[in-house]
Structure 1
């Protein structure tokens, strides 16, 4: 499935992903259960992969400088 996003939606998605990553990172630090911490780290890694994909899309969509 391919989703089409406007430039504004891509920027919003990027901001939401950054906030989510920050919140998840904070939760990892506060969690004292090793098993839960490892699961949260896996989810954070997945989130970062998506965030890098969105960043790549942001750079592709930028108009060339004159």
Structure 2
């Protein structure tokens, strides 16, 4: 499987906000739609801080 987990980084603490994310779609400036493997979705206002595909980890920084 190629899904990743998405974290929000606040004050150097990473909080898991969604597991098994299959797609990330930009909706607006600094707004992304996260789509999960089982059809769940979440809208997040953030900027991309880091994407590590080898560890299946995406870190976003809230704005």
- The TM-score with structure 2 as length reference comes to 0.24
Point out the structure with the larger helix share.
1
- The TM-score with structure 1 as length reference comes to 0.24
Higher relative contact order (CA 8 A, sep 6+): 1
Point out the structure with the larger strand share.
2
Structure of higher CA gyration radius: 1
